[in-house]
Amino acid sequence: MEALKIEILNPKALQLIKDMQDLNLIKVSEDPASKLQTYLKKMRKNASSAPSLDEIATIVKEVRVKRYAKK
> Is 17 exposed, middle or buried (CB count within 10 Å of its CB: 0-12, 13-18, 19+)?
middle
Mean pLDDT of 33-52: 78
Residue 5 has pLDDT above 70, yes or no: yes
Full-model pTM: 0.41
d(CA 54, CA 32): 21
Report whether 5 contacts 31 (CB < 8 A).
Answer: yes
Residue 53 has pLDDT above 90, yes or no: no
Report whether 50 contacts 59 (CB < 8 A).
Answer: no
